[in-house]
A and B are shown apart, each in its own frame.
Chain A
């Protein structure tokens, strides 16, 4: 429960911090941190415009997408406190529940019959497919290292071992951060600020969404950020008492948002053709973690 509340709070600020960071780096004052939430509330009140090509799929898809992320958030633990849902192998459930949301967001883009949106859908399907093995090898290696298979047990057991586990945690952070970027369609994979449909991924998929549905999709994006942030935080907090971990949670979430803002201010998006290679290279980082785990367990000897 604690984890869910913390994630929801983090979601409120996360995107605002990214935008603020970017505006400060580009020499502007920028909007307030709560501006994204205000935008969403405004969208919630608006009427929608539907394409005449679309069917009911287009209308239910944002809701399913939103619900899948909510469901996935329930699985995330916080230190010693389990997520609302916790069982052996829950990270598989986590990945597959997110897949349902992705499935619906892809077919909703196909539903508009637009030439652009199919392109975004195709890219989204491809990139998230390539990101999958990185996540599974990462979690599989951590499961191997700790001997547990649920998020909460893996994360709390991660700290009992030697300090070298923290080296793995740093690599894991990198992988998770990149997966978060892919899933949220951020730099360096996707540029949310681009104005050309041909170079968009996520933005082009939701071109025809408006009103409440668009608000729901944006909210889901914010929640997803906080969710991945919470996963990363979990790599570090272990069994430390709440008095330290709760502030640490917000510090790490803030740092992550700040980092994303920084990356987006100083980097250009990768060439579309190179994205797949880059994402697949994450799998090799995950394999490094696997070898690290083997080293720690002394399997090579």
Chain B
């Protein structure tokens, strides 16, 4: 077996040589070259991670000089699980992207930069999963954030895109601040940046605060409330394959980080678990509520990502409560459900983003109110979106149900032996999860119905048609994998149980009987799903047999006697979700802009009406805070006055200060 070091150097080599070759490749072949580069990198890293899933941990230490010391690079089960997910989504993303970018008549340099960044971005995510050293981790994390930010602003002529990109950049750096504080704290206590130092730290210090700092840091990436506000801006701004990869895997890096920290925790599992469950339920509810009202379909998908992060978080939380309660079953169901949902969400969310991208490519609008009836022009994309929508609602017979069922079972399992406070939390989470499911049906029936069904609401500039095979192909592959998860979940559960066994958390032993009970139930569910499909097919056959001689006629839709084509009178996405937003108007803040009808205005003139929904947290907490901050910072403007002379003075003052402080032995 080839060592990890060779793979590492090989992938970096491929990335570099690809970047150079790309510059001299004709525009036509650039995308193909990028697909091969990403594919080879993905295959190499998958090959080395695959054995790690089953307990063969691969390790290597890079000697990085005296400052960083030995940087441990390790792929264990947890890293391998995330690396494989990253690889799969990145490969489908680049294949889809190579078709998607064709529609842009971009210049060669723009494409070059985009493809090179994509490659770096892919590798940096793998690095994040492998590195076991605080500073090196932060560097990889930073490369990942920067490269993804540059990928987001592909369409940089649009000021909104730039704004979204900067918003993302700033928030990612707040996240880095939290992470740095965390790592430095550990460094001061243990004199080591290595992840292994966490063991020492957590054994001797309070677990709560450091964990919460890391939770905030990683929460920014993952999009937990109230750190979510970059998602609804960045996802719509990015090209669709980037949104798919970002939503599919980048936010999962936050989840990976949380998982990684949990493996080092020693105490306070119960309290932290309860905190995570509470935050996650709120995140899930908030995300899906917003998804239900927004009409920009990529923004809606971004909010839906927040919802799914909430579901994953519920799993993580109950897993931690399981450790706290000493219940192996709860640990398995919570973490297992969360890990499986990470995979599932990366599948159906990238699928939905790709399908949404196909719609955007053909219609050049992200506003679903302008669309309609696309199922007739783009039937394949419509079916793909439908499958994604059903799967993301957690409805059988698709894969979303498997992971949601495990998390539901975890909540039920938690109720067996718990205190009053835990019971109340669990039952409310149980109800919360069911509301999330209900609203996600509302959100996705709305989106699917408005985009693909009915009449077209506005005449398009050019007739939309089905997208190219190159764009459809990766989506088909994703659907195949989704079906494998749905019908052969035992493979994945077995893998997950191996990963969980590697997550050594004392004083804890995982018996295989624990896994077997639920593995058999989940296997049965997949059989029942087959039965369900069987019933549908049989009913359909019976129906076809009975109606075979009928002479069906085609007529206009019932319009209360009016038989003209009433495109404008169709129910819109806005009106579909209006009752919900009206009930929850304290949370879903709507701003309407219109002029009231004046007295004496007899003849109607053309008038405008606009309504937008605000992000509750962004507008009530973040924006006012930033406004105050800007106000305060105004007083410090004189420091940045644009005169080189004063900047030189600052430099001199700084050097003198360092000198004096060193002499006085204040800093060493």
> Which residues of A does B touch, CB under 8 Å?
44, 46-55, 57, 60, 63-64, 66-68, 70-71, 85, 87-89, 92-93, 95-97, 99-100, 102-103, 106-107, 110-119, 121-123, 125-126, 128-130, 132-133, 135-137, 140-141, 143-144, 147, 149, 197, 207-208, 211-213, 216, 276-277, 283, 290, 294, 299-300
Contact B442 A118 (CB under 8 A): no
Report the minimal beta-carbon distance from A298 to chain B, rounded to whole angstroms: 10
Q: Which of B512-556 contact A (CB under 8 A)?
A: 517, 521, 524-525, 528, 531-532, 535-536, 539-540, 543, 546-547, 550-556
Contact A212 B546 (CB under 8 A): yes
Contact B521 A118 (CB under 8 A): no
CA distance A137 to B411 in the complex (A): 12
Instruction: Please report the total number of B residues contacting A with Cβ < 8 Å.
Output: 85
Q: Which of B372, B450, B524, B557 contacts A87 (CB 8 A)?
A: B524
Contact B557 A112 (CB under 8 A): yes
- 30 residue pairs bridging A and B, Cβ less than 8 Å apart: A46-B550, A49-B554, A49-B555, A50-B552, A51-B555, A55-B375, A55-B379, A55-B382, A55-B453, A57-B453, A64-B536, A66-B539, A89-B412, A96-B405, A99-B395, A99-B441, A103-B393, A103-B395, A113-B567, A115-B570, A118-B576, A122-B577, A126-B580, A140-B431, A149-B412, A208-B557, A211-B547, A212-B547, A212-B550, A294-B423
Q: A55-B376, A107-B453, A137-B430 are in contact. Are A216 and B552 (CB under 8 A)?
A: no
Q: Which chain A positions have C-beta within 8 A of B535?
A: 67, 70-71
Q: Which chain B positions have C-beta within 8 A of A135?
A: 434
Residue of B nearest to A55 (CB): B375
Contact B445 A125 (CB under 8 A): yes
Contact B579 A113 (CB under 8 A): no
CA distance A89 to B517 in the complex (A): 12
Contact B547 A48 (CB under 8 A): yes
Q: Which chain B positions have C-beta within 8 A of A129?
A: 435, 438-439, 441-442, 580
Is B390 an interface position by the 8 A CB rule?
yes
Residue of B nearest to A118 (CB): B571
Report the minimal beta-carbon distance from B614 to chain A, rounded to whole angstroms: 21
Is B159 an interface position by the 8 A CB rule?
no
Against A, the Cβ 8 Å flags (1 = close, 0 = not) of B462-490 are 00000000000000000000000000000
Contact A100 B409 (CB under 8 A): no
Is B558 an interface position by the 8 A CB rule?
yes
Q: Which chain A positions have C-beta within 8 A of B426?
A: 140
Q: Which of B409, B517, B521, B531 contacts A71 (CB 8 A)?
A: B531
CA distance A129 to B404 in the complex (A): 17
Residue of B nearest to A75 (CB): B528
Against A, the Cβ 8 Å flags (1 = close, 0 = not) of B384-398 are 001001100111100
Q: A52-B555, A71-B531, A100-B395 are in contact. Are A126 and B550 (CB under 8 A)?
A: no
CA distance A208 to B558 in the complex (A): 6
A47-B553, A89-B405, A96-B405 known; 4 new pairs, CB 8 Å cut-off, are A55-B376, A93-B396, A111-B454, A118-B575
Contact B539 A118 (CB under 8 A): no
CA distance A40 to B430 in the complex (A): 39
Residue of B nearest to A111 (CB): B453
CA distance A135 to B373 in the complex (A): 35
Contact A114 B558 (CB under 8 A): yes
Contact A85 B528 (CB under 8 A): yes
Q: Which chain B positions have C-beta within 8 A of A216?
A: 543
Q: Which chain A positions have C-beta within 8 A of B408?
A: 89, 92
Contact B570 A114 (CB under 8 A): yes
Is B1 an interface position by the 8 A CB rule?
no
Q: Which chain A positions have C-beta within 8 A of B558?
A: 51, 112, 114, 116, 207-208
CA distance A110 to B386 in the complex (A): 13
Contact B550 A106 (CB under 8 A): no
Q: Which of A60, A103, A112, A137 contacts B431 (CB 8 A)?
A: A137
Q: Which of B393, B427, B435, B555 contacts A141 (CB 8 A)?
A: B427
Report the minimal beta-carbon distance from B306 to chain A, rounded to whole angstroms: 18
Is B380 an interface position by the 8 A CB rule?
no
Is B632 an interface position by the 8 A CB rule?
no
Contact B583 A276 (CB under 8 A): yes
Contact A96 B445 (CB under 8 A): no
Is B501 an interface position by the 8 A CB rule?
no
CA distance A53 to B373 in the complex (A): 8
Against A, the Cβ 8 Å flags (1 = close, 0 = not) of B551-575 are 1111111111000001101111001
Residue of B nearest to A115 (CB): B569
Q: Which of B427, B433, B442, B453 contacts A125 (CB 8 A)?
A: B442
Contact B431 A283 (CB under 8 A): yes
Q: Which of B427, B455, B555, B556 contacts A290 (CB 8 A)?
A: B427
Q: A147-B416, A283-B431 are in contact. Are A89 and B521 (CB under 8 A)?
A: yes
Q: Which chain B positions have C-beta within 8 A of A126?
A: 442, 579-580
Contact A107 B445 (CB under 8 A): yes
Q: Which chain B positions have C-beta within 8 A of A115?
A: 559, 566, 569-571
Residue of B nearest to A198 (CB): B560
Residue of A nearest to B549 (CB): A47
Contact B571 A119 (CB under 8 A): yes
Q: Which chain B positions have C-beta within 8 A of A99?
A: 393, 395, 437-438, 441
Q: Which of B396, B448, B517, B558 has the most chain A CB within a 10 Å cutoff?
A: B558
Contact B448 A48 (CB under 8 A): no
